[in-house]
Amino acid sequence: MMRWAKILAFAAFLAVGCSGTADAEDPDVRFSLEMITHHRQTLKLADMVKGRSTDTFVTGLATKLRTGERTEIDVMSNWLTMWNMPLPKGATYQMTGSATTADFTALQSRTGPEFDQMWLTTLSKHLTTGVMMAQIVVATGDHAPTGDLARRIVREQRQEIADIGQHLT
């Protein structure tokens, strides 16, 4: 709960001083465009858990992801709006490591421990892609709030990847 209070306070802070126009080639804009799509894919993965898993780690992680990713989508959407940029459509993202249509199809036909193993493995790869995306904007962007969000994504997703690794062993 404390984490979400911080995120909402952070979002309110971001609403100040984030206006102006940018273009899709700006690293901060590109990050928001791509990360919103990436987060939507994470939400799609999280939504697959209901009815397929009873593992408390898996169900808890899915719940955590749904809440956190939606909040971050809202923050990045607000930035894009303030920058006069259109919001991305859909949840398709074609970056190496992202979940593919084949991954989603394979997950749909699985339940129980088999689903859990495949879901966690797919999610771990997906989160690793998110870390790489965030590291790029940290190195190339100049919008301080985007950098702050990206650093938090790197920290939190690395921890989630480590937790997944421990759960899979």
- Determine the Cα–Cα distance for residues 92 and 80; give it in Å rounded to an integer: 19
DSSP notation for 41-65: HHHHHHHTSTTT---HHHHHHHHHH
Mean pLDDT, residues 39-47 taken together: 95
**pLDDT tens digit sequence for 69-100:** 999 999 999 999 999 999 998 655 566 667 88
pLDDT at res. 12? 43
d(CA 153, CA 109): 30
> What's the token pair of residue 114?
């088999």
d(CA 55, CA 145): 36
pLDDT for 4: 47
Cα 110 from Cα 60, distance rounded (Å): 19
For residues 124-135, give the mean pLDDT: 96
Residue 104 has pLDDT above 90, yes or no: yes
Taking residues 135-141, what's their average pLDDT? 98
Residue 110: partners with Cβ closer than 8 Å, 6 or more residues away: 52, 118
Q: For 13-27, 57-71, 86-100, which range has the lowest pLDDT when averaged over its residues?
A: 13-27
In this predicted structure, what is the pLDDT of residue 21?
A: 59
- Res 47: pLDDT: 97
pLDDT, one tens digit per residue, over 149-163 is 999 999 999 999 999
Can you read off the two tokens belonging to residue 84? 């006069």
Confidence of residue 53 (pLDDT cuts 50, 70, 90): very high
- Both tokens assigned to 15: 């609403």
Displacement of CA 148 from its chain's centroid (Å):
15
